[in-house]
């Protein structure tokens, strides 16, 4: 302890000595400069520019003044002409910057989708849908049950039915009891808020044109049902009896769009990995059987409106429903309602009114 005290004293003394030496050097430097600055006026070889005679008053107030005022007037004229031109081009510059900002966001989002988070590994290139290997565990004991290939939904129509806020929630927290983990920081994932926004920007950029989506759905229904005028399927030995049942199970047998257009993906246990249990018996989505839909929606038109445009989270629906915000809108695009803020077109919807009416009729029969 004594040694440390002596060391501290020595360091303090050295500091004082250095400070005094610096102060002395500073005083000496000032003295030398003051002494040099006392040279006799006029002793310099050439007069400094600020001591040379300048123009007389007559010249200053005529030629010099006129020339200076003339140059000032020219400068004012240039400013008066160029500033409005600059202002006129400002909206274009702002639009260009917005476009550049969006392009950069899309590029970064694609990088995350393909290489960073590797979303393409499950959802396919350009979000066309795919499969993911998934281990099913017993929800009570946690024991191994099965290893399955889970249909991963196509994302090239995700903005048809979900708002950016809904997609953000899904990316942040994932989907429980499925291969979809939490990717956002709020859910414990690795992606920041900005990276999630960039992924959504990329997903928005790859949404299918309305005509292409509708054609693909109709082609799939023709293959699995080929409904007649009464919405009864006409394919001999086919899996489905009615158009509504076929719509409910779109993609179950062949993985079309990873089940993105279907209802069974959320409302039927085992649907996503080809081991469907009771149709509409409930999974992530509620049980639709036993007349529950008729009790919730006494009139079919109410249910059709509900499926078409799912109410916002915290909004009442039906006779006793309360929206959780998890379901998408299948007949109305939530991102095309306000022309000022729309990021999609009104015709970019999952199902037609006739298809929605058919699937509602099927659900009400369960």
Higher pLDDT, 20 or 362: 362
Sign of CA dihedral 50, 54, 56, 57: negative
Pair 360, 244: CB distance under 8 Å: yes
| Average pLDDT for the chain | 90
Q: How confident is the model at residue 251 (pLDDT cuts 50, 70, 90)?
A: very high
Q: Is residue 68 part of a domain?
A: no
Out of 36-50, 232-246, 254-268, pick the least confident.
Answer: 36-50
| Nearest 10 degrees: Cα torsion 277, 282, 287, 293 | -80
Give mean pLDDT, residues 26-42: 68
Domain boundary (173, 207, 241) is at 207
Pair 174, 180: CB distance under 8 Å: yes
Q: For residue 7, with 0-12 CB atoms within 10 Å meaning exposed, 13-18 middle and 19 or more buried, which class applies?
A: exposed
User: Minimal CA–CA distance to 262: which of 277, 275, 279, 278?
Assistant: 279
**pLDDT for the residue 8:** 44
Q: What is the pLDDT of residues 77-125, one digit of tens each?
A: 888 888 888 888 888 888 888 888 899 999 999 999 999 999 999 999 9
User: Minimal CA–CA distance to 250: which of 272, 235, 278?
Assistant: 272
Out of 33-42, 207-216, 265-274, 292-301, pick the least confident.
Answer: 33-42
Q: Is residue 49 part of a domain?
A: no
Instruction: Clarify whether residues 192 and 217 are in a common domain.
Output: no
Q: Is residue 281 part of a domain?
A: yes
Instruction: Clarify whether residues 219 and 144 are in a common domain.
Output: no
Read off the pTM: 0.76
Instruction: Clarify whether residues 140 and 169 are in a common domain.
Output: yes
**pLDDT for the residue 263:** 97
Instruction: Clarify whether residues 303 and 191 are in a common domain.
Output: no
% of residues, the chain, pLDDT over 90: 68
Q: What is the pLDDT of residues 320-346, one digit of tens each?
A: 999 998 899 999 999 998 888 899 999
Pair 190, 183: CB distance under 8 Å: yes
Q: Any idea what the CATH number is for the domain that residue 138 is in?
A: 1.10.760
**pLDDT for the residue 43:** 54
**pLDDT for the residue 38:** 58
Domain boundary (181, 207, 233) is at 207
Q: How confident is the model at residue 14 (pLDDT cuts 50, 70, 90)?
A: low
Q: Is residue 234 part of a domain?
A: yes
% of residues, the chain, pLDDT over 70: 92
Higher pLDDT, 325 or 191: 191
Pair 243, 255: CB distance under 8 Å: no
Instruction: Clarify whether residues 191 and 243 are in a common domain.
Output: no
Higher pLDDT, 313 or 211: 211
- Domain count for the chain: 2
Pair 360, 303: CB distance under 8 Å: yes
Report residue 197 as tokens.
Answer: 């926004």
Q: Does the structure show a pLDDT above 80 at 155?
A: yes
Q: What is the pLDDT of residues 193-211, one digit of tens each?
A: 999 999 999 999 999 999 9
Sign of CA dihedral 31, 36, 42, 43: positive
Q: Is residue 50 part of a domain?
A: no
Q: Is residue 69 part of a domain?
A: no
**pLDDT for the residue 64:** 80
Instruction: Clarify whether residues 267 and 315 are in a common domain.
Output: yes
Instruction: Clarify whether residues 360 and 215 are in a common domain.
Output: yes
Out of 14-23, 123-132, 163-172, 211-220, pick the least confident.
Answer: 14-23
Instruction: Clarify whether residues 216 and 293 are in a common domain.
Output: yes
Q: Can you give the residue range of the structural domain that contains 240?
A: 209-366
Instruction: Clarify whether residues 348 and 214 are in a common domain.
Output: yes
Instruction: Clarify whether residues 245 and 161 are in a common domain.
Output: no
- Say how far apart CA 156 and CA 257 lie, in whole Å: 9
Q: What is the pLDDT of residues 1-12, one digit of tens each?
A: 444 444 445 556
Instruction: Clarify whether residues 341 and 229 are in a common domain.
Output: yes
Q: How confident is the model at residue 42 (pLDDT cuts 50, 70, 90)?
A: low
Higher pLDDT, 152 or 70: 152
Q: Does the structure show a pLDDT above 50 at 148?
A: yes
Q: Is residue 25 part of a domain?
A: no
Q: How far apart are the first and last CA of the chain?
A: 87
Q: Is residue 255 part of a domain?
A: yes
Domain boundary (155, 174, 207) is at 207
**pLDDT for the residue 40:** 53
- DSSP state string for 248-259: HTTTTTT-GGGG
**pLDDT for the residue 32:** 76
Pair 158, 203: CB distance under 8 Å: yes
Instruction: Clarify whether residues 170 and 214 are in a common domain.
Output: no
Which residues fall within 8 angstroms of residue 90, CB to CB, at 6 or more apart? Answer: none
DSSP letter (8 states) at residue 280: T
**pLDDT for the residue 39:** 55
């Amino acid at each position: 302890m004594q040694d440390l005290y002596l060391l501290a004293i020595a360091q303090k003394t050295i500091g004082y000595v250095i400070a005094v030496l610096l102060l002395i050097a500073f005083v000496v430097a000032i003295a030398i400069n003051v002494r040099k600055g006392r040279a006799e006026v006029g002793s310099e070889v050439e007069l400094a520019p600020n001591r040379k005679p300048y123009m007389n008053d007559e010249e200053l107030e005529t030629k010099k003044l006129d020339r200076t005022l003339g140059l000032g007037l020219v400068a004012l004229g240039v400013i008066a002409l160029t500033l409005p031109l600059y202002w006129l081009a400002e909206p274009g510059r702002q639009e260009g910057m917005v476009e550049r900002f969006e392009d950069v966001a899309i590029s970064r989002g694609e990088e995350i989708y393909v290489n960073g988070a590797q979303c393409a590994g499950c959802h396919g290139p350009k979000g066309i849908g795919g499969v993911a290997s998934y281990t099913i565990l017993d929800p009570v004991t946690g024991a191994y049950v099965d290893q399955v290939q889970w249909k991963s939904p196509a994302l090239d129509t995700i903005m048809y039915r979900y708002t950016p806020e809904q997609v953000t929630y899904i990316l942040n927290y994932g989907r429980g009891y499925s291969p979809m983990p939490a990717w956002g920081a709020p859910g414990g994932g690795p992606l920041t808020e900005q990276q999630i926004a960039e992924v959504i920007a990329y997903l928005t950029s790859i949404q299918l044109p309305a005509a292409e989506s509708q054609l693909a759905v109709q082609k799939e229904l023709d293959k699995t049902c080929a409904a007649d005028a009464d919405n009864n399927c006409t394919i001999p030995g086919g899996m489905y009896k009615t158009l509504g049942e076929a719509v409910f199970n779109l993609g179950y047998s062949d993985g079309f769009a990873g089940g993105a257009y279907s209802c069974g993906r959320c409302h039927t246990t085992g649907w996503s990995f080809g081991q469907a249990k009771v149709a509409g018996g409930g999974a992530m989505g509620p049980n639709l059987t036993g007349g529950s839909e008729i009790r919730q929606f006494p009139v079919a038109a109410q249910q059709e409106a509900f499926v078409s445009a799912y109410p916002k989270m915290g909004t009442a629906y039906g006779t006793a429903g309360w929206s959780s915000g998890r379901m998408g809108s299948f007949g109305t695009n939530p991102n095309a309602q306000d022309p000022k803020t729309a990021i999609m077109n009104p015709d970019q919807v999952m199902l037609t009114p006739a298809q929605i009416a058919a699937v509602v009729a099927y659900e009400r029969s369960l």
